[in-house]
Structure 1
């Protein structure tokens, strides 16, 4: 991949956003992994991976990260283009008008199966590491959260002994899953605490090895023999994903017997006509597909992903009863830090442990598929609804507190966060890692297209990104009720920092008084609005452009600041704005490859999505006209806005996308290809994941507004929570917690009770 080649990855054209008329699609671009520019080797031969004394990411780490992302891009391209992989052949006689779409869809299907297998492989690799803290076996229990015990969970994030994984570094596909997992920092922290992986938490991403094992020209990942041998010995798996078994081992939720189910069920003769293509792509019943179905030969239960999610909840409840392992969502406070029991309280009335009390003190959660084969996660939500709305049931759950009928705001927040772990997630982890990898793939694509790696000024670019990131975190600390959204260059430094979890925790707590989360899901309209605020706040404070890009979208988002009263009548602000204008006049106006808004976490609504997007288009139309007038007044050409009719898939196929802007959810992701929908949430009132009756408004969303995982609030919700995360923080109510985003993320519903 060369710089000149990456610049050719441009999108086609359309005749203004208002018309929406189609043009002929441009040809697909060919993959290139050879003949890089001459700057790629000499400047990286002696990268210094000494940690920064300031506990911030270093330029060398960011460069190694870019190298890793290029390796991920190569892997995805090779898997998608592997003809016949997993029995999936390229489409044959399909309608010519849909040819590009179908080819991209088939390649994405191969990638979806590959990633699902990779997550399974990661789970096995993760399981090979000891459940230790500073080398000693340890299991955190609910009783450990009382101050004065032998174990102090509050010190977990800043302690632990880093494991030496140099000889146990996994294959690239497993590394990719670990990478996406760590980029959900609060989920990663709580999972490491609940699942007793303290020393694993303390282990940073081994940047020096990654830099050494990935070829700087081809981005081929080549591990040492000892690592390959250890992976196979420890996990029982082949080093290469595609050499693994064609079936996955699962336990029947009904009788716990072992079953081996296929990853995919492609037809014997694929795609001979349109009907067979559509049938397979929409109705595959293999484990990697949304419609997974398998009948247990012993108890005859029809197993689906939904039943496996209920089984996960049941397993966690049993672990709570038998091992005192806290339920997910009950460990971290609203600031993202482990919250100990108040000195005036006990475990039995600790606010965050309310979900644990529901399970331990009531018999309502003794679920069995034998007596009710139609159980769903929504059944769990409805059971909690009935308890929340019943004074007598609340009293039984709260038998150890003085006011039996009272459910604290933190308790309601803990319910929502607990439920967020089960909506569309049957894995032992706190987030659907398949979806996490796919959303990160959007960021990988952006880094590949911008191609900073081959820039002769890459080290200076990385230093500037790190400085902007430090300022970005400062904005979060100074504006706890706002959501800060990163640009792509800031996000690169931010991601790099999160891959050293213990250091990242210390840094964000010191700078913001909380463990800053990186929200994995934010509605695209909110993302655009929050980005506008971030641009204005950054430029007002530093007199420098936040988004170093002059595309039409970035010009539109800055237009409000240019017209603000402060800018007009405050001479200092006006001088800063002049500096921004001068700097911006020298920047490129390419809306594709500019380092503007980072949108890998953008999601769209399943209902009224078209209406919301159309409203955004109209708002940007108005702002664009103002930006054009301003450009002409300054003697500049207006930023072009007629080149977004076609968007390239990761495999090179141009896909027509109306009303596309840099802020929208990745239009090249076909949500129905995956077990869950990576870029879409169901916001219909009453849908699975919507707020439980009696808990919305001034209380809490059960899994909705999830931010980190699961659906977002239905239309009944309002306001924004004071989340310690999102792409920074969230504003509005006084909720908070893991999400940030959604209906105010982790606050939603008026802020989880306030």
Structure 2
């Protein structure tokens, strides 16, 4: 790999910058385009999500207690779902209306001299509301607070319900998926294992204390074309009828704008009132009453629920980073995730060898760590075996401390394994890494005589693949027909 990098990666990075500049200037890629959805390329490849035990030589060495490539890939999908949901909320004008966040233009009077009339006159113009865009961002914390209130109701109701997979005494597994807002809160809570475990013990949530995110079912609920999350009809029916929880908080908040008596409850919530009053008779439907009661309970428990809101807020930065790298759309996503799992296994070994040190992960290692944390029981058992103790994932640590410990973790990683810790994780470099692994498995290639020739061919192939995958994603984001090759 080191022999390959100096000669070719620089040109790949330059090609990437050229492609992106052209794309920003409405450059048209020289590809045919799909005429309908059935012709569109499927990215990521469905083969990534077979959830079968690894069989290739690279993955076979990875232990069964670690996350799989498929689980990490679904995690990448789920992070895109969360990113898309937040953008939808922030950009929704309908949600602006529901929360009564509206622009307030000002009429400005200006005195000016008219040379034609030879006198001073008063003119008026409408000034833009400069606070509107910042006020629109208030929707996100309001949405999160309601999502946490729904999560608290969901987790307690679900824990006592008898719809779990497995026999009595077996590891619990959910059969029915939660709404996306509830899933987002649950996901962020799992990333703080000590806090989550304490919460479950405090509230007697023995099943949920052990339950893991159902990756296969989550994948089946995600549309990878637009990163929407769609619950099966039976799951929606169960949520509505059994625990009186609307299947989609976003759609519920949009509908509220059409019902003045329900909107009043929402506006009282937004105003910060500690006590929210409503008339059950005026609410009318069972669904409206359930929503009003939820809003009332959420406001009453706001202080207790605040840490759960903060959990989700802290994950926003990580989700944005994952969206920026967008590995799930990369031609090398399988290799990226597989290598990340291998690096994570080494990362866990550092906890055992340096028990008094705080380890800070790279972005790819952190993805696998987060995926591992989403199975609390497996994570606990795995860390006891690998690190000799339970290791908490504390995402509340400050930046300066993390930066210092990141550098020291890199030093320990190099000492322990003789490998570079911080590596470039862009599409180009990851595609090169996957291609060079393929070359290394080819016994017919003479390392000394044929490697450079082979490497040049691989670089050209990588550049072609990355350019095409990038063209597909740019077209997707611009709402254009997807290119074919």
Same fold (TM over 0.5): yes
Residue in structure 1 matching 2:72, options 62, 82, 94: 62
Is the 8 Å Cα contact of residues 182 and 188 (structure 1) preserved in structure 2? yes
Residue in structure 2 matching 1:294, options 274, 286, 293: 274
Give the whole-Å Cα distance in 2 for the aligned partners of 1:288 and 1:471: 47
Give the whole-Å Cα distance in 2 for the aligned partners of 1:435 and 1:288: 18
Question: 1:461-506, CA deviations, whole angstroms, 9 ceiling, x for partnerless residues?
Answer: 1011111111111112222222111111011000000011110000
Give the structure 2 partner of residue 426 of structure 1: 304
Residue in structure 2 matching 1:519, options 378, 394, 410: 394
CA gap 1:186/1:225 in 2 versus in 1, 3 angstroms: same
Give the structure 1 partner of residue 43 of structure 2: 40
CA deviation after TM superposition for structure 1 residue 221, in Å: 1.0
Give the whole-Å Cα distance in 2 for the aligned partners of 1:446 and 1:263: 36
Give the whole-Å Cα distance in 2 for the aligned partners of 1:69 and 1:48: 19
Give the structure 1 partner of residue 230 of structure 2: 222
Give the whole-Å Cα distance in 2 for the aligned partners of 1:100 and 1:549: 43
TM-score by length of 2: 0.62
5 Å-filtered alignment, 1:177-326, equals 177-244=185-252, 265=267, 287=269, 292-294=272-274
Give the whole-Å Cα distance in 1 for the aligned partners of 2:163 and 2:217: 23
Is the 8 Å Cα contact of residues 133 and 161 (structure 1) preserved in structure 2? no
Is the 8 Å Cα contact of residues 240 and 246 (structure 2) preserved in structure 1? yes
Give the structure 1 partner of residue 470 of structure 2: none
Give the structure 1 partner of residue 114 of structure 2: none
Give the whole-Å Cα distance in 1 for the aligned partners of 2:321 and 2:50: 24
Q: CA RMSD in A?
A: 4.2
Local SS of the residue matching 1:129:
helix
5 Å-filtered alignment, 1:368-379, equals none
Residue in structure 2 matching 1:126, options 155, 171, 179: 155
Question: 1:716-751, CA deviations, whole angstroms, 9 ceiling, x for partnerless residues?
Answer: xxxxxxxxxxxxxxxxxxxxxxxxxxxxxxxxxxxx
Say yes or no: does 1:87 pair with 2:99: yes
CA deviation after TM superposition for structure 1 residue 239, in Å: 1.4
Higher relative contact order (CA 8 A, sep 6+): 2
CA deviation after TM superposition for structure 1 residue 438, in Å: 1.1
Provide structure 2 residue ranges, at least 5 long, that are not aligned to the other structure: 1-15, 26-35, 55-61, 109-127, 255-261, 278-296, 427-458, 460-485
Give the structure 1 partner of residue 182 of structure 2: 174
Give the whole-Å Cα distance in 2 for the aligned partners of 1:160 and 1:124: 25
CA deviation after TM superposition for structure 1 residue 263, in Å: 7.1
Give the whole-Å Cα distance in 2 for the aligned partners of 1:195 and 1:432: 16
Say yes or no: does 1:463 pair with 2:338: yes
CA gap 1:543/1:170 in 2 versus in 1, 3 angstroms: same
Question: 1:415-468, CA deviations, whole angstroms, 9 ceiling, x for partnerless residues?
Answer: xxxxxxxxx9413xxx71111111111111111110100111111110111111
CA gap 1:295/1:203 in 2 versus in 1, 3 angstroms: closer
CA gap 1:441/1:296 in 2 versus in 1, 3 angstroms: closer
Give the whole-Å Cα distance in 2 for the aligned partners of 1:436 and 1:197: 19
Give the whole-Å Cα distance in 1 for the aligned partners of 2:380 and 2:130: 42
CA deviation after TM superposition for structure 1 residue 74, in Å: 1.0
CA gap 1:45/1:493 in 2 versus in 1, 3 angstroms: closer
Question: 1:687-733, CA deviations, whole angstroms, 9 ceiling, x for partnerless residues?
Answer: xxxxxxxxxxxxxxxxxxxxxxxxxxxxxxxxxxxxxxxxxxxxxxx
Give the whole-Å Cα distance in 2 for the aligned partners of 1:550 and 1:200: 35
5 Å-filtered alignment, 1:273-672, equals 287=269, 292-294=272-274, 425-427=303-305, 432-549=307-424
Give the whole-Å Cα distance in 2 for the aligned partners of 1:83 and 1:438: 22
CA gap 1:508/1:550 in 2 versus in 1, 3 angstroms: closer
Say yes or no: does 1:165 pair with 2:40: no
Is the 8 Å Cα contact of residues 145 and 309 (structure 2) preserved in structure 1? yes
CA deviation after TM superposition for structure 1 residue 93, in Å: 4.2
CA deviation after TM superposition for structure 1 residue 57, in Å: 0.6
Give the whole-Å Cα distance in 2 for the aligned partners of 1:132 and 1:88: 37
CA deviation after TM superposition for structure 1 residue 202, in Å: 2.0
CA gap 1:172/1:296 in 2 versus in 1, 3 angstroms: closer
CA gap 1:190/1:534 in 2 versus in 1, 3 angstroms: same
Is the 8 Å Cα contact of residues 265 and 276 (structure 2) preserved in structure 1? no
Is the 8 Å Cα contact of residues 352 and 387 (structure 2) preserved in structure 1? yes
Is the 8 Å Cα contact of residues 91 and 106 (structure 1) preserved in structure 2? no
Give the aligned length.
344
Give the structure 2 partner of residue 71 of structure 1: 81
Local SS of the residue matching 2:137:
helix
Larger Rg: 2
CA deviation after TM superposition for structure 1 residue 100, in Å: 12
Give the whole-Å Cα distance in 1 for the aligned partners of 2:276 and 2:322: 45
Local SS of the residue matching 2:71:
helix
Is the 8 Å Cα contact of residues 352 and 388 (structure 2) preserved in structure 1? yes
Give the structure 1 partner of residue 32 of structure 2: none
Give the structure 2 partner of residue 144 of structure 1: none
TM-score by length of 1: 0.41
Is the 8 Å Cα contact of residues 246 and 252 (structure 2) preserved in structure 1? yes
